[in-house]
């Protein structure tokens, strides 16, 4: 089997704590269980990366508004946001772990996530 390594794939996950990062990639999709639209952001610096999903739901909107605001994009009622505007933006994030119970397997899972977005 031949495995191609794409740019950025050699990087490791960022260490926990406050990190200065650039948004290098955005992927859009729909959640596997409930069909909720999301976009996944890759936050990256010279030390590594972390990806984080932002769900377009009532519970997820505060995080989306915070992310856009931290990079200087005003998120106001009635305004439509474009995730492509985030590419190349720099900000500070806090990297940490979050555990949850998988709804299908009922096993506990832990993932790295980005929270507490601040302007750089």
Per-residue model confidence as pLDDT tens for the chain (120 residues): 877 666 656 789 999 999 999 999 999 999 887 899 999 999 999 999 999 999 999 999 999 999 999 999 988 888 889 999 999 999 999 999 888 777 777 788 877 889 899 998
Decide which of 1.20.120, 2.40.50, 2.40.240, 1.10.3470 is the CATH code for 17-119.
Answer: 2.40.50
**What's the pLDDT tens digit per position in 35-63?**
999 999 999 999 999 999 999 999 999 99
Question: Nearest 5°: CA angle at 72, between 97 and 113?
Answer: 10
Domain boundaries along the sequence of the chain: 17-119
Question: What does residue 22 show for φ and ψ, rounded to 5 degrees?
Answer: -120, 140
Any residues with CB less than 8 A from the CB of 1 and at least 6 apart, and which?
A: none
Q: Which residues contact 28 (CB under 8 A, 6 or more apart)?
A: 37, 38, 39, 40, 83
């Amino acid at each position: 089997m031949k495995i191609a390594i794409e740019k950025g794939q050699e990087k490791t996950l960022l260490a926990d704590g406050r990190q200065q990062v650039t948004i290098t990639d955005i992927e859009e999709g729909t959640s596997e269980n409930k069909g909720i639209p999301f976009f996944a952001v890759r936050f990256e610096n010279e030390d590594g990366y972390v990806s984080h999903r932002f769900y377009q739901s009532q519970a997820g909107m505060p995080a989306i508004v915070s992310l856009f605001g931290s990079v200087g994009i005003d998120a106001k009622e009635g305004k439509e946001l474009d995730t492509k505007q985030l590419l190349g933006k720099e900000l500070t994030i806090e990297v940490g772990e979050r555990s949850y119970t998988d709804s299908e397997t009922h096993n506990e899972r832990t993932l790295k996530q980005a929270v507490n977005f601040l302007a750089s």
